[in-house]
Amino acid sequence: FATRYISDTTINMQVIPISCLTDNYAYIINDDSSKIVGVIDPSESSPIISFLKKNNLKLNYILNTHHHYDHIGGNIELKKKYNAKVIGFKGDSHRIPGIDIILENNEEWTFGNSTVKVLHIPGHTLGHICFFFQKEKIAFTGDTLFSLGCGRIFEGDHKQMLTSLNKIKKLPKSTKIYCGHEYTYKNAEFCMKYDNNNINLKKHFEKIKKLRSNGLPTIPSNLEDELKSNIFLRCDQNDLKIKLNMKNQEDFKVFKKIR
C-alpha cells in the first residue's frame, strides 16, 4: 500500500494522510499558527512516529472516531511517547485505549485555533463519531462515510446508518471528507454497477483511475461530489429509485437494499 504523502493545507491547517496497515489512513493534522499537532485514528504508531520525527513535530492529541483496532492500535504507544491526550466519544469511553478527553454529541472542542464539532454517527459501531472542523470545513468520517461508499453495519442498524449519513449530508457542500480507508476504486465499481447512467459518477471514476494509477490517495473527497456520485447518499433520488425498480419506495428501503 505505497502512497505518496500529499499535504492538504486549508487556511492554517495542514492535513497529511499517513498510510497504515494494508489500506487504512491515519491523518496528521497540523495547526501552523498554534503549533498544535494531532493524529486521527492511528491504527499503528510507527508510521506516525516516523513522519513526526522527519518533520520535527511533537504530537499533542490523538483523536479516535471509533473503537475498532485498526483505528486505535497506535494510541497507547503514541500517548506514552509524546504524552499526547486521547480524545473520544462518551459512549465509547470504555473502549478507547488511554482516553483522556471525553466528548458528547454536538459538543464543540478547541484544537489550536479551530473549533471542532462532534457528530455522533452510529451504524458501523454504536459509538462512532465524526470530527467536523467548522471554519476549515473538514470532516473526519472514519468508517461511516467513505468516498463513494459507506461502512458496514456491525453494531448498529440500517436506520441508524442512514440517519448518520443524512447528518453528514447536511454539512456545507464544500466540506472535504477524510475517511478511514482507501476503498474508493472498489466503491466506484460498485456504484457504476447499479448507477451507470450517472454522468457525475463516470467523471469521478475517471479521476479516481488516474490518481490510483499514479499511486496517489483518492482522499479527501468533496461532499458535493459525494452527493452527486455516491449511491448511498442518493437513496432519496427518483432517478436512482427508478433505475433500481423501486419507484415511490421510501428512502430507507432503497438504502437497505443497496447496503
Please give the positions annotated as active site: 66, 68, 70-71, 124, 143, 181
Burial letters 52-87, b for 16+ CB under 10 A, else e: beeeeeebbbbbbbbbbebbbbbbebbbeebebbbb
CA 95 from chain centre, in angstroms, equals 19
Residue 34 burial (10 A CB sphere; 0-12, 13-18, 19+): middle
Sign of the C-alpha dihedral, residues 174, 175, 181, 186? negative
C-alpha distances (whole Å) from 11 to each of 117, 133, 135, 138, 183 are: 18, 11, 9, 11, 28
CB 132 within 8 A of CB 119: yes
Q: Rounded to whole angstroms, what are the CA distances from 189 to 76, 81, 113, 183, 246?
A: 37, 41, 39, 10, 21
